[in-house]
Structure 1
Amino acid sequence: MAGGRIVVGVDGSAPALKALKWAAGQAALTGDSLQTVISWEYPASWATLMPGVPAEFDPERLAKQILDESIDQTLTPQEAAATTRTVVGGNAPQALLDAARGASLLVVGDRGYSGFKAAMLGSVSSHVTQHAPCPVVVVRGDTGE
C-alpha cells in the first residue's frame, strides 16, 4: 500500500545505522515515507550522578545532533531530505511505540548503545516486537564474533 509510513529508531549505534539504511531501501521499494525517531531522557538522579556536567548541557540538542549525523552519514542527500526527523523526550520503547501508531512498519536495530553484547535482542527491540501496533523488522547488526 503506497503512501504509508515507515518508522525507524535511531540512536547512532552501528545496528541502528544498518536499520536506517534498510528502512530507507524499503521505503524506496514501497513508496512509503520515512520517519526517524530518537529519544532522550534525563537520568533519574541527574544532579547527583553527574556533578561535573556543564549547565549548558542539553540532551535534546545532543539527540538531534546524533539523529542528523546518523541520517547524513547513512542516507543519500535525496533520501535525507525526504526523511522526517523526530526527537522525543522520554523512554525509547515508548517513543517508538507512539510513533508507530498508524505506521505501516517499525524498524529497529537488534541492539543499541544500552544493550548487552551477549543478548539476542536488546531491551528496546525486544519490547517493541511484543507491543508494536504494526509489523516490526529487527535488523541484525554485526553477526561476527
Structure 2
Amino acid sequence: MAGRIVVGVDGSEPSLKALRWAAGQAALTGDELQAVVGWEYPASWAAAPGMPPEFNPELLAEQFLEESLTKALAPDVAAGVTRTVVAGNPAQALVDQARGASLLVVGDRGHAGFKAAVLGSVSTRVTQHAPCPVVVVRGE
C-alpha cells in the first residue's frame, strides 16, 4: 500500500537536494510525493508603505514552488508531485502536512550554535515534532 512522502521546499540548494532525494525514495517505494512550501509575512511587511495592491505572497510562493520543482526534477517526475502552499510558519506547516505521511524530508541549511538559536532551524523543529519518521538531507 503506497503512502505519502512530504518534502519541504524553500529554494535553497539543500532543499532542492532534499527534493531530489525524496523523489528518488518515492520512486523506490511507490509513495506519492508532496512538496510543501510554508510562507509567512515578516512583521515589518505588515504595514509596509508602498506595497502594491496586487502583491500576492501566496501566488509568489506557488510560482517559487513551481520553479523549484522545475529546477530539481525531470518534467515527468515534477508532473506527478502534489504541490502545497501553506500560509504560516514553515516548520509548523511541514509538521501539519506530515500527519498521515510515511516520511517527512527536509534539507539542512547547516546553521549551528548561536546562529541556529537566533534564526531557528526548520530541520530541528520538524525532527522534534513530526508525527512520522524524518530524513534530514545534509549538504556537502
Same fold per superposition (TM over 0.5): yes
Runs of 4+ in 1 over 3 A off after TM superposition: 115-119
**Percentage of pairs with the same residue:** 71
- For 2:17, the aligned partner's letter is K
- For 1:34, the aligned partner's letter is L
Residues 57-96 of structure 1 aligned to structure 2 (within 5 Å): 57-96=55-94
In structure 2, the gaps of 5 or more residues are none
User: What is aligned with 1:8?
Assistant: 7
Q: Distance in 1 between matches of 2:136 and 2:106?
A: 5
User: What is aligned with 2:106?
Assistant: 108
Residues 106-145 of structure 1 aligned to structure 2 (within 5 Å): 106-111=104-109, 119=116, 123-141=121-139, 143=140
Deviations 1:86-141 (A, max 9, x none): 011111011100110000000000029xx67965xx61000000110000000012
Aligned length: 138
Structure 1 residues 78 and 45, CA gap change in structure 2 (3 angstroms): same
- For 2:7, the aligned partner's letter is V
Structure 1 residues 47 and 86, CA gap change in structure 2 (3 angstroms): closer
8 A contact 1:106–1:134 mirrored in 2: yes
Deviations 1:65-105 (A, max 9, x none): 11000001111111111100001111101110011000000
In structure 1, the gaps of 5 or more residues are none
Choose between structure 1 and 2: higher helix proportion: 2
Which range is displaced more, 39-48 or 127-136? 39-48
